[in-house]
Amino acid sequence: MTGTTDTLRTAALVRTSGMPGRVLSRLSGWLDSKIGLPFDRLRFRVSLRHLSGPRKIDLPREAVTVVALVRDGAYYLDVFLAHYRALGVSHFVFCDTGSTDGTLAQLAQEPDVTVLQSRLPWGRFENIFRGYAARTFSADRWCLFADMDEILEFEGQAQLGLNGLVRYLNRHGYSAMMAQMLEMFPQAPLRSVAQQSYPEVQQSFCHYDISAVRALPYHDPATGLGFFLSRNQIPDAPPPKMQFGGIRGAVFGERCCLSKHPLVFVDADTDPAVHPHVSTGVRVADTMAVLKHYKFANDPMARDQASLEAASIPHGEDALRVAGFAERPDLTLWSQTAQKYDDPETGPEALREAGFLQVSARYLTEILD
């Protein structure tokens, strides 16, 4: 789940370009950071509870901790934990916003999991929650921000694992790696697979479509994220892109941001998770991952209707999807422009060759050595 929230809730909504847009974005960000954010942080700390797992973790500097926001995530847990453990994650911190299914009971049995809970509205407090978890459990270490419906993969994964990837990032002085979100979907109408289990979804949701993706330069004010992105350094070759829309834009009219900074080294210079997609004060790497996004698993029609009724998020994407499903009950995302994602080895490579992922020749050379 992704909303547009805290340090600067309004900056992410500014869509104007040019000097007026930049000035408005930065002024709004400054006001919110000085007035709104400190009060929200106080409310959050008062609401915070430790539910289970270690309160402190002692891990080596190269260890990676996952921080994940969750609410009623039992559907995803087995696949999520298995995938990230296989990648080499050392510990998980789940930021629960009020689960009522079996999520909390299952996580309490996992020795490498800490669960924190705040029942404040997640759409407003998600960034504060993630940032607190990162600073508390990943100080001077790498933190991987992942949503429950996201599976991270990267070129060279089989050879490197997360430990090898982190060694590459450390060796070249990087403190963050970007990823592009790839919407995964089946060939069938979405309603016909709404009740599939998450393991089944991993097999049937094997298609993607990047034909409608819109790419902008990283520091282009038209991203609406200039307040945040201006604080980050980026590589010259290849320059990373901020990407928007894709299949969700084409089918539902969403202007969703597909670019994230999920892997971040948390130190005194870093401000982690100031936006659902961005950390600041980082030096962005010359390679990136893909986040396979299973937005349309787990009965998305019912989830979007519930989100709309609860007014959980301000950006209105749930309303666009509800309207789209109402208009076309047998809606499918598959078309002749869809492509098949084969496996973790060839999938990221194909996306790099298509220009969806920006990866340097240096990285490719080093992972082959």
User: Which pairing describes strands 150-153 and 241-245: parallel, antiparallel, or unpaired?
Assistant: unpaired
Task: Evaluate whether residue 3 is within a structural domain.
Answer: no
Task: Evaluate whether residue 1 is within a structural domain.
Answer: no
Task: Evaluate whether residue 6 is within a structural domain.
Answer: no
User: Which pairing describes strands 284-293 and 176-183: parallel, antiparallel, or unpaired?
Assistant: parallel
Vertex 343, ends 341 and 346: CA angle to 5°?
85
Q: Give the chain's domain count.
A: 1
Task: Evaluate whether residue 345 is within a structural domain.
Answer: yes
Task: Evaluate whether residue 325 is within a structural domain.
Answer: yes
Residue 368 has pLDDT above 90, yes or no: no
**CA separation, residue 46 to residues 39, 40, 93, 104, 130 (Å):** 11, 10, 19, 21, 16
* Contact assessment for residue 37 and residue 55, using Cβ atoms and an 8 Å cutoff: no
User: C-alpha dihedral over 122, 292, 288, 63, to 10 degrees?
Assistant: 70
* CA distance linking residue 99 with residue 90, whole number of Å: 24
* CA distance linking residue 182 with residue 168, whole number of Å: 24
Task: Evaluate whether residue 46 is within a structural domain.
Answer: yes
Instruction: Give the pLDDT score at 22.
Output: 62
* Contact assessment for residue 331 and residue 251, using Cβ atoms and an 8 Å cutoff: yes
Task: Evaluate whether residue 37 is within a structural domain.
Answer: yes
Question: 283-339, pLDDT tens digit by residue?
Answer: 999 999 999 999 999 999 998 888 788 776 666 888 999 999 999 999 999 999 999
Task: Evaluate whether residue 117 is within a structural domain.
Answer: yes
Question: 171-207, pLDDT tens digit by residue?
Answer: 999 999 999 999 999 999 999 999 999 999 999 999 9
pTM for this predicted structure: 0.89
| Parent domain of 58 | 11-368
